[in-house]
Structure 1
Amino acid sequence: MSHATPSDIEVAKRRRWPLLAAIVAVVVIAASAIFYANARGDDRSFSTELEVATWSTDIAAENLLAYIAEEIAPDHGITIKPVKIDNLVEINRAVDAGDVAGNFFQHQPFLNDAIAANGFELELAAPVFTWDQASYSDKYDSWDEVPEGATVALRDDPAGQAIALLDLAWSGQITLKPGKDTVAGLPQLSDIESNPKNYEFVQVPIGQLARSLADVDVVVVHISDVYAAGLTEDQIIDRPEAPKGSEGGLVVSTRTSEDPNIKKLIETFSDERIAEFLETTDNDLIRDTLGPRTS
């Protein structure tokens, strides 16, 4: 009968270590995957009561969401609970994590920026409305009155800046380089081909843009962003049509879009009665700010 020597025992231990290490690694990876999935809402299922978030200063979208919750959602077998989130990163993170069922405030270019910056797995599942955007001034009544070298403020984020530049091009104030004259082209200040009146452009964060009017000659901004700042219709000098591709609507997580109640939510926001409401409503906050999406 042979006996294991101390060296044999040491060799056996050394041989077991790689196996044990591999087992531990697999367990750790599996646990991490479960934690990550839970954190990202991968295993989240939704009831028929669904929270949908609007950005806290977007009064028009908030009013439209209230109409959808009261008049449309019950016919699709769900209850919508509107909530407000005042941070533009967190409002998308909440959907990505499964903390809310969706959000209702943004267009595809803005969503593209959020996805690129944060790795969110989100989709614009139901385009619903177009934003009216306008140029405001306390000093002038039209672009014809705005002098050479005037200061024009617009948003500092790529999506918002692109929409503003398209509006300025539509109004004949600038021209854009070839291929940059659509929402898909996502024009930025560097894409201006001509600036005949030598405007000085100032980039301002979205939450401060409307309030910057006192410091500049003209502000180009979504009308839905101006109410909290106290801007009014008589300060508008130009109001272009919303560029195609800038429609806003319901955003959901791509990981939960097959959930039965999320499908009902998407059906709710796709209901044709919303477009009719946008065309006929007496609610000034909605009628003067949002329009039905173009087909």
Structure 2
Amino acid sequence: MSTLRKLLAAVAAGAATLALAACSGTPAASPSGTESSAALTTVTVGASPVPHAKILEFVKEKLAPAAGIDLQIVEFDDYVQPNEALASKELDANYFQHLPYLEAQIKERGYAFEHGAGVHIEPYAAFSKKYTSLADLPQGASIAITNDASNQIRGLRVLETAGLLTGITDDSNVLNLTAEQNPKGFKFVENQPEVIVQQLDDPAIDLAFVNGNFILTAGLSTADALAVEKVEDNPYANLLVWRTDNTNPGVAKLEEFLHSPEVADFIKQTWPSGDVLPG
């Protein structure tokens, strides 16, 4: 976090410069070299539409202006493009992923990224249009599940907690499950997270595991899920991510805002049902 402290110091120094310019009546220079009454630091952030972009909109409206931050929000509907856009310097930061997913992406794609602390948790949940209980799932039921390992294991652990799978380890995936681990012979259908929520209406699918942000965009609620992962000691908190070569001091300020009491209260008030939880 030393990088963050340096950037926060830079923000404070910049604010002091603006204050002195205002007191002296001398307009501060804008980043483009022209003069304006107030210099803004633009921070461009990629985010999933809900809840991430909605949280950022709150920051943009309520917190960023007083700090001289011009927050630009770019929405993405998948989990691949935000990291690619950050790596190619189209973004200053992104806000859509949890640490296990980020670590897997860094290992696979070689991204030079850093991250902040967890901001909120969206519990992973299983839904069905055909059954009202996991116990009703038949032998050989078809289960839609994400194709990325960091989220797939979450679904397998939910099924293990329900007593439908056994002996799940950190290395387990739908391709290496043994008959002993999968006694009901479930058939897993892997797909991208943004596609799985649409498979709920597929008559061939008996159960679908849906990521938290897609639960919200589809108008679903964990209250209607057949199973929801535990929140206590949950390692899947979503966080802000930036490049290791970042020099934009506004990124550090945004990280500070995302952990403010104002944002925590906004999350609690906006999603009182617990579909999104601070921390």
Q: Does 1:202 align with 2:189?
A: yes
Give the structure-1-normalised TM-score. Answer: 0.71
The answer (yes or no) to whether the contact 2:158–2:227 under 8 Å persists in 1 is: no
Could you say which residue in structure 2 is the equivalent of 1:188? 173
Partners of 2:87 and 2:126 in 1: CA distance? 34
The answer (yes or no) to whether the contact 1:76–1:267 under 8 Å persists in 2 is: no
The answer (yes or no) to whether the contact 1:141–1:235 under 8 Å persists in 2 is: no
Q: Does 1:274 align with 2:267?
A: no
Q: Quickly say closer, same or farther: Cα 1:271–1:176, change in 2 above 3 A.
A: farther
Identity across aligned pairs (percent)?
Answer: 26
Could you say which residue in structure 2 is the equivalent of 1:10? none
Amino acid at match of 1:251: V
The answer (yes or no) to whether the contact 1:103–1:250 under 8 Å persists in 2 is: yes
Give the structure-2-normalised TM-score. Answer: 0.74
Amino acid at match of 1:277: F
Partners of 1:69 and 1:116 in 2: CA distance? 32
Q: Does 1:66 align with 2:48?
A: no
Of the three residues 43, 60, 63, the one matched with 1:50 is 43
Deviation per CA, 1:141-182: give whole Å up to 9, x if none.
Answer: 1112222221111101111212222222233321234xx2xx
Amino acid at match of 1:49: T
Q: Does 1:107 align with 2:98?
A: yes
Could you say which residue in structure 1 is the equivalent of 2:108? 117
Partners of 2:124 and 2:152 in 1: CA distance? 12
Of the three residues 235, 238, 248, the one matched with 1:248 is 238
Deviation per CA, 1:207-227: give whole Å up to 9, x if none.
Answer: 211111223100011232135
Partners of 2:167 and 2:199 in 1: CA distance? 25
- Structure 1 range deviating more: 127-136 or 82-91: 82-91
The answer (yes or no) to whether the contact 1:164–1:221 under 8 Å persists in 2 is: no
The answer (yes or no) to whether the contact 2:46–2:95 under 8 Å persists in 1 is: yes
Q: Quickly say closer, same or farther: Cα 1:92–1:161, change in 2 above 3 A.
A: same
Amino acid at match of 1:84: E
Q: Quickly say closer, same or farther: Cα 1:123–1:165, change in 2 above 3 A.
A: farther
What CA RMSD, in Å, does the superposition of the two structures yield over aligned residues?
2.6
Q: How far apart are 1:229 and its partner, in Å?
A: 4.7
Partners of 1:270 and 1:238 in 2: CA distance? 29
Structure 2: runs of 5 or more not aligned: 1-39
- Structure 1 range deviating more: 100-109 or 268-277: 268-277
Partners of 2:224 and 2:254 in 1: CA distance? 38
Amino acid at match of 1:51: T
The answer (yes or no) to whether the contact 1:108–1:247 under 8 Å persists in 2 is: yes
Deviation per CA, 1:104-139: give whole Å up to 9, x if none.
Answer: 110011112221222111122231000122110011
Deviation per CA, 1:197-246: give whole Å up to 9, x if none.
Answer: 32222211212111112231000112321355565667521222246211
Q: Does 1:169 align with 2:155?
A: no
Partners of 1:186 and 1:53 in 2: CA distance? 30
Q: How far apart are 1:263 and its partner, in Å?
A: 1.9
Q: Does 1:85 align with 2:70?
A: no
Q: How far apart are 1:140 and its partner, in Å?
A: 0.7
Amino acid at match of 1:196: P
The structure with more radius of gyration: 1
Could you say which residue in structure 2 is the equivalent of 1:290? 276
Q: Does 1:218 align with 2:207?
A: yes
Could you say which residue in structure 1 is the equivalent of 2:252? 263
Q: Quickly say closer, same or farther: Cα 1:176–1:78, change in 2 above 3 A.
A: farther
Amino acid at match of 1:290: V
**Residues matched between the structures, number:** 236
Partners of 2:54 and 2:214 in 1: CA distance? 13
Deviation per CA, 1:34-84: give whole Å up to 9, x if none.
Answer: xxxxxxxxxxxxx612111113xx422222221222223335442322111
SS in 2 for 1:176: coil
The answer (yes or no) to whether the contact 2:96–2:240 under 8 Å persists in 1 is: yes
